[in-house]
Chains A and B, each alone.
Chain A
Amino acid sequence: MTVHNLYLFDRNGVCLHYSEWHRKKQAGISQEEEFKLMYGMLFSIRSFVSKMSPLDMKDGFVAFQTSRYKLHYYETPTGIKVVMNTDLGVGPIRDVLHHIYSALYVELVVKNPLCPLGQTVQSELFRSRLDSYIRSLPFFSARAG
């Protein structure tokens, strides 16, 4: 099991943070384009899912998987979106994504007066805490470094 990468978007589609661990393939476009494509896909999936759903939804879209990876999605009522790509063996990780939001983003970025909201997070503390939190996850594999 392994974690590939993590995206953090705000409600306007700005990528607040991106980091990757075991990513073997790039999308073949610039990083900025990739963020836009990812946000656009999630935006469309959200509207797709809300139309398709036979019942009223609570959490809405949670995850999707392809033959090689699984994308986990978590959205707060304020529109912050946490997206994590892992391999297929990882089960529901809503609590992990919620922890990234509540214990890392809110504590280290929102409550930090030196971090302007709505743009890429510059805080070194946030980056390193996030990195060590992800590395400590039970499904973060050590085999690829």
Chain B
Amino acid sequence: MAIFSVYVVNKAGGLIYHLDSYAPRAEAEKTFSYPLDLLLKLHDERVLVAFGQRDGIRVGHAVLAINGKDVNGKYTADGKEVLEYLGNPANYPVSVRFGRPRLTSNEKLMLASMFHSLFAIGSQLSPEQGSSGIEMLETDTFKLHCFQTLTGIKFVVLADPRQAGIDSLLRKIYEIYSDFALKNPFYSLEMPIRCELFEQNLKLALEVAEKAGTFGPGS
């Protein structure tokens, strides 16, 4: 498995479809006694580690679960504030799971429109005539591939850097979009895609691409 997620962005920069196909787990669970030797802070409705990197817990990681129960933003499973709960000596020893914060759907919308503008700036700053926007963005943990159709829809795939065959996958997703979203009489253009067949076929295409393209971490 090495394709992380798929985004479809309409020509105005709005996110109209999103699928997380595989999220590698980078989490660390540890039992703490009072006082907690990490500095936590509240950021964007989440409790993040601000200081005290250790044992796989890194700065920027969020509190994901307390005593095996998933937290809900800054609140514990039974509705108390996480910071308050961890500040109370009576609740110790406590086992806390930390990990990279998962993206909320609001953040995904924001990131999609952010990419939309980066795409445009990328073509404006081109030193060559007639350049498109960003087609591939490379980092050490993932590669982002983007395919913009003539009608302005952008298909974005996040994949492992070693995953091959993403270009053909992007064309395939376009084909699936045309066949199962556009041809669906109940689908209105530029609006979020809620079509069962689209989703089914997309998942199938991702599976095929993962097997065909080589060397995912777990395959």
Which of B77-85, B121-129, B184-192, B199-207 binds A?
B121-129
Contact of A37 among B26, B100, B121, B127 (CB under 8 A): B121
Contact of B134 among A23, A54, A58, A64 (CB under 8 A): A64
Q: Given the complex, which residues of A lie within 8 Å of B90, measured CB to CB?
A: none
| Contact present for B142 and A54 (CB under 8 Å) | yes
- Report which A residues bind B (CB closer than 8 A): 4-5, 20, 22-25, 27-28, 34, 37-38, 40-41, 44-45, 48-49, 51-69, 71, 85, 87
Contact of A67 among B115, B135, B142 (CB under 8 A): B135
Contact of B137 among A5, A28, A64, A68 (CB under 8 A): A64
Q: Given the complex, which residues of B lie within 8 Å of A44, measured CB to CB?
A: 114, 117-118
| Contact present for B24 and A55 (CB under 8 Å) | yes
| Contact present for B124 and A55 (CB under 8 Å) | no
Tally inter-chain residue pairs, CB-CB below 8 A: 119
- Report which B residues bind A (CB closer than 8 A): 4, 23-24, 26, 58, 60, 100, 103, 107, 111, 114-115, 117-118, 121-142, 144, 158
Contact of A24 among B103, B118, B127, B138 (CB under 8 A): B127
| Contact present for A54 and B118 (CB under 8 Å) | no
Q: Given the complex, which residues of B lie within 8 Å of A59, measured CB to CB?
A: 139-140
| Contact present for B141 and A51 (CB under 8 Å) | no
Question: B44 to nearest A CB, angstroms?
Answer: 10
Q: Given the complex, which residues of B lie within 8 Å of A52, measured CB to CB?
A: 103, 111, 142, 144, 158
Question: B138 to nearest A CB, angstroms?
Answer: 5
Contact of A54 among B24, B117, B126, B129 (CB under 8 A): B24
By Cβ-Cβ distance, the 3 closest A-B pairs, closest first, are: A4-B127, A68-B131, A67-B132
Contact of A51 among B103, B128, B136 (CB under 8 A): B103
Cα–Cα distance between A41 and B100 once the two chains are bound (Å): 24
Question: A22 to nearest B CB, angstroms?
Answer: 8
Q: Given the complex, which residues of A lie within 8 Å of B142, measured CB to CB?
A: 52-55
Contact of B127 among A23, A51, A58 (CB under 8 A): A23
